[in-house]
A and B are shown apart, each in its own frame.
Chain A
Amino acid sequence: MHNFTRRHFLKAFGITSAAALTGIGLTPHAAHSAGKAHVVVVGGGTGGATAARYLKQLSPSMAVTLIEPNATYVTCYGSNWVLGGFESIEAITHGYDNLRDRDGVDVIQDKVIGVDADSRTVRLESGDSQQYDKLVMSPGIDFKYDDMPGIEEADAETIPHAWKAGSQTELLRAQLQAMPNGGVYVMVAPPNPYRCPPGPYERVSMVAYYLKTHKPRSKVIVLDPKEGFAKQGLFEEGWAEHYGDMIEWRGGSNGGRVEEIDVSGKTAHADGGQERVRADVMNFVPAQRAGQIAHDAGLTNEQGWASVDQRTFKSVMDDNIYVIGDASVAGAMPKSGHAANNQGKIVAAAILRELSGQEPLDPSSASTCYGLITPDYGVSIAAVYQYQNGAQAAVEGSGGVSPLGQSSTFRRQEAEHTRAWYAGITQDIWG
């Protein structure tokens, strides 16, 4: 475990007199007292569950509490496969039994409604509170409905975002199932930065896969404020091969910039009012910001995200609070599930080293974002990130996207790896 140090002892137990420590004869076993601190993790998604699990595995005697409002977590990654009609929502739903029973994490189903940094306390909706030595916040995203005229959060019941998986995914799936053959699915894509950069384009692929199989006369239109997107060449190659002209992507300067949404008419107004695109099924993915609790705790910047020391993911606002996952600003690391998983490990190591009085590491992590164009056609973007010159940066010469023009065997292998990735990373996170 970790070297017990005087600094940690003082820190963890609030003993102010160094003389209290003299002559005690701290043995190597005392190293375990580094684990006597209480770490509270807020949010049981990819980042938070990883952090809780790794803290506990790396330091079994540490008290780790995970606070999550829901009994289960449905991953956003994999949710497009549910829309494609070949994966169930149950298969992408994960519980906390293994964290609780095997790893010894204290999992509390409750919602954090406030953070008092001075008293190192989080307040819960139930009226309880938890005191922490270190707090890890992994609150995910919330939406900026205010950025789009004509639509508000409550309208997600008719125009789903499905960008937090679960009932929203099922709603969008049901709408696609009810859509007539020859209908139009319209995705209004989000501006940067947002959760899962290739996600909207995998979604479009999966919707097209479902429609091609069941309603082949239908149309898929993407209205996108951006001029380009992640893995664009690969997606366009795969779309042309498998969906012909079913998918139409309109970039920002080509009529893709939506200025208003008419909810009752399911119509997007774009291109300075010149263009009105009517949908049978509309999927509006709003602009995004860090989850609300990060704002309430005073951890966010003017852009709505949490700035951190990218070496440790410690908030720049508070010495005892760390922010990981989509909510944080992490340099070259994208807002992806794999990045959040890596950050959960980085933050666990950073907290344990700090509590043990050790210098922080310069973390290095590997990340892969897989996406499916059909169930048998996968593409990927890989990266190795290192902490360099004050930021998380991609290692020069490493990473990149799958090559263009590959064989169907290569694409099938990447589709198989996509499913292996899902099985592996979800076991890594939730046990």
Chain B
Amino acid sequence: MKHSRLFAAGLVASLAMAGTASQAIADNDEITRGQLMAASCKACHNAAAAEKGVPDLSRVSAGVIQSQMRAFRDGERDATIMDRHAKGYTDEEIEAMSVYFARF
């Protein structure tokens, strides 16, 4: 019993240090569905893709992401492919994902 307590206390101390060493993408509490959706978008919308003309969404505000996703979905903005993607999301889902891009 005592051994276990010591083990756990030491673990807490070492992990506290590890935690300050790196900036995790995840929340301090839990990974959310919105975060996972945003992670999916990131495959095509990151810095490497931006060099070839596709927007890096980590540089786009949550508000603009929301308005443009709705515009693609509702046919108010022309697209080659984003109209087909945007139709897969509700307003709530668009909002949920939009706040995570700035953290990538």
Contacts and interface: CB of A to CB of B under 8 A. Distances in A.
Nearest to A414: B80
A423 B48 contact: yes
B16 to A, nearest CB: 4
A20 B89 CA distance: 46
B12 A33 contact: yes
Contacts of A261: none
Interface string A256-277: 0000000000000000000000
Contact of B84 (A352, A398, A423): A398
Interface stretch (A55-63, A153-161, A224-232): A55-63
B24 A428 contact: no
A189 to B, nearest CB: 26
A57 B25 contact: yes
Contacts of B31: 2, 58, 349, 352-353, 361
Interface in A2-56: 2-3, 9, 13, 15, 17, 19-21, 23-24, 26-33, 35-36, 54
B8 A54 contact: no
Contacts, number: 187
B44 A421 contact: yes
A338 B84 CA distance: 16
A1 B28 contact: yes
Interface stretch (A191-199, A284-292, A364-372): A364-372
Interface residues of B, number: 51
Given A399-B88, A417-B80, A425-B44, A361 B25 contact: no
B1 A20 contact: yes
B44 A384 contact: no
Given A3-B30, A32-B15, A352-B31, A419 B52 contact: yes
B43 A428 contact: yes
A1 B23 CA distance: 10
A21 B46 CA distance: 43
Contacts of B37: 364-366
B51 A423 contact: yes
Given A341-B43, A364-B93, A416-B52, A61 B84 contact: no
Which of A15, A358, A398 has most chain B Cβ within 10 Å?
A: A398
23 contacts: A1-B19, A1-B29, A9-B8, A19-B1, A27-B16, A32-B16, A33-B11, A58-B25, A60-B19, A60-B22, A353-B30, A362-B33, A365-B36, A366-B41, A366-B88, A382-B81, A384-B88, A398-B87, A414-B80, A420-B54, A423-B52, A425-B43, A427-B47
Given A353-B30, A397-B87, 14 more contacts: A1-B27, A2-B31, A24-B5, A29-B19, A31-B28, A36-B15, A60-B21, A61-B15, A342-B40, A352-B26, A361-B33, A364-B89, A364-B93, A420-B53
